[in-house]
């Protein structure tokens, strides 16, 4: 009997998997999925090319894993942040704030999710769409609650939700590609104001 799985080896392998994922996130963000070869990936992760296949069945499974993990991270952070509030507007703002923060901090995540994923394949387009719709649905739900409370005027909540998500997406992407403005904080506040006005917030005043 020899070489039973032990704590040490398990941790070592877990670390190696992490290394692969880290390299993948960076390279996919920088060069795109097609533009990233397994050889280059292995080189970046400081392992042999064949080793990648000990951890992932193939390249497709790797990008799937990376994308799924990213969304999971994002959803978890948002859910945790929303828990802190009960008021509808606060929850909505919390979602927006945290998305913005995460994407600005984790630029590789932003570039992969917002730029690279749609171009990978039609199946990824569909996957992305499903998850984007998840965000839109949440936003829509927030808006409908607020409408019921009489804090927002009548209006098409679906259109509003999509518009809101889209405006943030575009601004985020702009900063990501073109560089941040001098005063990011103020720009972000203006963007929020834009959307609050768009929603008709304060309509009764």
Tell me which residues touch its own copies (CB under 8 A). 30-35, 115-122, 125, 129, 133, 136, 155-156, 158-160, 162-171, 174, 177-178, 181, 186-187, 190-191, 193-195, 197-200
Residue 13 binds which entry of DNA, its own copies, none, CB below 5-8 Å type-dependent? DNA
Residue 92 binds which entry of DNA, its own copies, none, CB below 5-8 Å type-dependent? none
Look up residue 78 and give its two tokens.
């948002």
Q: In angstroms, give the least distance from the CB of 49 to DNA.
A: 5
List the interface residues with DNA, window 9-48 (CB under 7 A): 9, 12-13, 16, 34, 36-39, 47-48
Measured distance CA(175)–CA(193) in Å, rounded = 18
- CB-based contacts of 157, cutoff 8 Å, min separation 6: 140, 143, 144, 147
Residue 199 binds which entry of its own copies, DNA, none, CB below 5-8 Å type-dependent? its own copies
Look up residue 122 and give its two tokens.
């039609």
Query: Given the complex with DNA, which of 60 and 132 has the nearer CB atom?
Result: 60
Query: Given the complex with DNA, which of 48 and 189 has the nearer CB atom?
Result: 48
Measured distance CA(163)–CA(165) in Å, rounded = 6
| Plot region of 152 (φ>0 → left; ψ -120 to 50 → alpha; else → beta) | beta
- CB-based contacts of 84, cutoff 8 Å, min separation 6: 94
Compute φ and ψ for 118, nearest 5 degrees. Answer: -60, -30
Which residues here bind DNA, judged by CB under 7 A? 1-6, 8-9, 12-13, 16, 34, 36-39, 47-51, 53-54, 58-60
């Amino acid at each position: 009997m020899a070489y039973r799985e032990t704590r040490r080896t398990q941790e070592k392998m877990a670390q190696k998997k992490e290394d692969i994922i880290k390299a993948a996130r960076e390279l996919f963000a920088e060069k795109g999925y097609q533009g990233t070869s397994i050889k280059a990936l292995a080189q970046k992760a400081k392992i042999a090319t064949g080793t990648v296949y000990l951890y992932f069945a193939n390249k497709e499974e790797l990008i799937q894993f990376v994308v799924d993990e990213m969304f999971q991270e994002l959803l978890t952070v948002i859910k945790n942040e929303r828990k802190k509030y009960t008021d509808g507007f606060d929850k909505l703002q919390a979602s927006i704030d945290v998305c913005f923060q995460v994407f600005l901090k984790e630029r590789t995540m932003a570039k992969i999710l917002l730029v690279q994923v749609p171009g990978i394949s039609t199946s990824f387009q569909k996957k992305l769409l499903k998850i984007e719709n998840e965000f839109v649905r949440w936003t829509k739900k927030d808006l409908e609650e607020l409408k019921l409370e009489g804090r927002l005027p009548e209006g098409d909540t679906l259109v509003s939700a999509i518009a809101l998500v889209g405006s943030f997406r575009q601004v985020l992407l702009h900063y990501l590609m073109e560089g941040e403005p001098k005063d990011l904080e103020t720009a972000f506040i203006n963007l929020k104001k834009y959307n609050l006005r768009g929603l008709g917030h304060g309509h009764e005043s």
